[in-house]
Structure 1
Amino acid sequence: MKYIDIAGAGMPCSKLVLGTDYYKPDIMDKIGPILDAFTDMGGNAIDTAHIYGGGNSERALGLWMESRNNRDRVLILTKGAHHNRDGPRVTAAHIAQDLEESLERLRTDYIDLYALHRDDPTQPVGGIVEALNAHIDAGRIRAIGASNWTHQRLQEANEYAAAHGLVGFSFSSPNLSLAKPNEPRWEGCVSADEAACDWHERVQMPLLSWSSQAGGFFSGRFSPEKTDDKEAVRVYYSDANWERLRRSRELAERKGATPIQIACAYVLCQPFPACALVGPQSPEELRSSAAALAIELSRDELEWLDLRSDRAPL
């Protein structure tokens, strides 16, 4: 396993982050071996959210940590303040409500990495940062971040924190993948574009990418003629992405890897601290993703894969 540092987390964060959006207590026989295999290979960062499965993802993780007695050896990334049918919920009251419920479900008294699941640009960043700092001061949160925030809002929030002697965001969790989405996969989602990646490189803020493997776009299951998966068609089908897939296959053949491992390595090898969230359905799928950790991609290879250069790297 490889690791990055996230300010405030308390321990290094594994570059593979285990996604658990489909987890629930009644499938512990399936997910327990995946969680065990992940920690056995040195993984320690596990992603969940207040809304996943109506709270069942967090409940399942709480049961697993309790049964393994390993809470002090894992980094829990959970998210709150997601909007609902009534609209945005990025307020101090909703953050407190969601956090309290997440702590209870997870059977813990602190969250290592706490992220706001969505943004509400109508809310001033100052009040949001102050609300999160109150929970840091109370020991309920160790490090704060944001999922699906633009880099401009992140910078604004951290400038406010610095000016007021507060703890700022120490990580971001947008989408970043080799396949570029035509439109957001889910409402309110943010993908890291070229400007966002340039900003992350400049400030070296860690990026924890969800859908790092683009919903399996590089798995071999998709082709321009196969249009039964409407979400994949809507989000990822484009001439540019088919060319990225072709290039990933070419590079995979040269490196003795698979295209989906190249796609995962594309995230892991960015010129800033980056982690890839993966959601394997079995220990075997997990081990396939973990093989990407051994793949080194040069800047020339990254730019060629991403169509920023037409000159194939030697």
Structure 2
Amino acid sequence: MEYRKLGMTDLELSAITYGSFAIGGTMWGGTQKEDAISAIRASLDHGITTIDTAPFYGLGLSEEMIAEAIRGKDRSKIQLLTKFGMVWDGSNNGKGRFFFNVDNDGKNYPVYIYAGRSNVIKEAEESLKRLKTDYLDLLQLHWHDPNTPIDETMEALQQLIDQGKIRAAGVSNFTKDQMAEAEQGILLASNQMPYSMLNRGIEAEVVPHAIAKSIGLIAYSPLERGLLTGKYFEGAHLTEDDHRNGYFSQFDLKKVQKFLESIKPLADQKGATLAQLVLRWTTLQPGITVVLAGARNAEQAIGNAGAMNISISDDEMKHINSELAKVTTKDN
């Protein structure tokens, strides 16, 4: 496993970071608690020291399971990254921006994007309790709140840093201009963004800005929520309440399948899975600090960690990128 410095902070994160969105169950067709806890523990046993979560993932369930999974472990060797700003409990009193309605265990919750000062503090305290820890390594604003000045949010985060409750502050889903505004009020550690072989939009502005300003980039959905593992072209099925039923429709699936078939021989040659090859490719892209990889059981977690055991030569990278370019062409 490689460990990488996050921006200009003193945080060292594992290049493959455990992403816990799926184990929360919300929008993912439920979860199996024992399998999820095993996945987290297997990740730790195989060199993944960093765990990314959010209160929204399972409406608190993901954080609670992480706390159970790391109980008895050396906290100083684990980096806990969480978020704030997606409010579903009504505590925002109508403030913020309505985002969407979400179903959780048969109950409907209206979710708001709200990053007001009092909510930042409130959610941080709640995450500390759910994670059963006295500090968070990184606290990230989940989505930009257009109804709250960015400097107000950053001031609240700085207060938490000064109090020793968080080690560093980051954002998520921020544009280059929003990052620049946030930087005026705080040492911005990172921006967590969607990034994959099929979604490279951040390369235009966000990546160059992050490199220039020494801000870390945390890539989420590198496997496009499982699409780039190839298993959904091999008969895997999704439950009705799994959001990926609609999510996958944004892609030209025939081209994606053809691309995966074109790079599978390379993965086979390395004794790797498609998922491992895709993850390793992502960790090698300019500006990317760490890559989030979800796992719902121990086997998947061990596989994710193993991605860092393979190498990709310059010629192999050219081959992958050449085949990948065909996915975006209109007449291939």
**TM-score normalized with structure 1 length:** 0.81
User: 1:202-281 to 2 correspondence within 5 Å?
Assistant: 202-223=212-233, 230-237=245-252, 241-242=256-257, 244-281=259-296
What is the match of residue 154 of structure 2? 129
Report SS of the residue matched to 2:171: strand
Which AA in structure 1 matches 2:36? I
Residue in structure 1 matched with residue 198 of structure 2 by the alignment: 179
Aligned residue in 2 for 1:307: 325
2:235 and 2:68 map into 1 onto residues whose CA distance is 44
Please give the secondary structure, in 1, of the residue aligned with 2:76.
Answer: helix
1:215-270 Cα deviation digits (max 9, x unpaired): 11122233499997632432333565445434433542454433222211121111
CA contact (8 A) 2:263 2:320 kept: no
Letter of the 1:142 counterpart: R
Q: Which amino acid aligns with 1:174?
A: M
Task: Note the 1:31-110 alignment, pairs <5 A.
Answer: 31-65=36-70, 67-84=71-88, 85=110, 87-110=112-135
The 3-state SS of whatever aligns with 2:154 is helix
In 2, Cα distance between the equivalents of 1:209 and 1:142?
Answer: 20
RCO (CA 8 Å, sep 6+): is it higher in 1 or 2?
A: 2
Q: Which runs of 5+ in 2 are unaligned?
A: 26-30, 89-109, 239-243
Q: Is the 8 A contact 1:48 1:57 kept in 2?
A: yes
Q: Is the 8 A contact 1:204 1:272 kept in 2?
A: no
Distance, in Å, in 1 between the alignment partners of 2:116 and 2:198 is 33
Q: Is 1:169 the counterpart of 2:159 in the alignment?
A: no
Greater Cα shift, 140-149 or 244-253: 244-253
TM alignment of 1:280-299, pairs within 5 A? 280-297=295-312, 298=314
**Residue 28 of structure 1, CA deviation:** 5.2
SS of the counterpart of 1:300?
A: helix
Instruction: Tell me if structure 2 keeps the 8 A contact 1:179–1:244.
Output: no
* SS, match of residue 214 in structure 1: coil
1:146 and 1:247, CA in 2 relative to 1: closer, same or farther beyond 3 A? farther
Contact 1:117-1:147 at 8 Å conserved across structures:
yes
Match of 2:6 in 1: 6
Whether 2:208 is the aligned partner of 1:198: answer yes
**For residues 208 and 152 of structure 1, do their structure 2 counterparts lie closer, same or farther at Cα, with a shift above 3 Å needed?**
same
Asked whether the 8 Å contact 2:6–2:289 carries over to 1, the reply is: no
TM-score by length of 2: 0.77
Instruction: Give the match for residue 16 of structure 2.
Output: 16
What's the CA shift for 1:302?
A: 6.1
* CA-CA distance at 1:71 after TM superposition: 1.9
| Structural RMSD (CA) | 3.1
Matched residues in 2 for 1:15 and 1:83: separation? 30
- Give 1 or 2: higher strand fraction: 2
CA distance in 2, matches of 1:142, 1:192: 26
Q: Structure 1 residue 156 and structure 2 residue 181: aligned?
A: yes
Deviation at 1:119, TM superposition (A): 0.8
> Is the 8 Å Cα contact of residues 19 and 279 (structure 1) preserved in structure 2?
yes
Query: Displacement, 1:103?
Result: 0.9
Letter in 2 for 1:307: A
Aligned-pair identity in percent equals: 25
Deviates more, 1:207-216 or 1:82-91: 82-91
CA apart distance, 1:291: 2.3
State whether residues 80 and 137 of structure 2, in contact with CA within 8 Å, keep that contact through their aligned partners in structure 1: yes
Query: Does 2-11 or 149-158 show the bigger shift?
Result: 2-11
For residue 130 of structure 1, report the CA deviation from its aligned partner.
1.4
When residues 106 and 240 of structure 1 are mapped into structure 2, their CA distance, relative to the original with a 3 A threshold, is: same
1:109 CA displacement: 1.6
Q: How many residues align?
A: 293
Aligned letter for 2:164? Answer: G
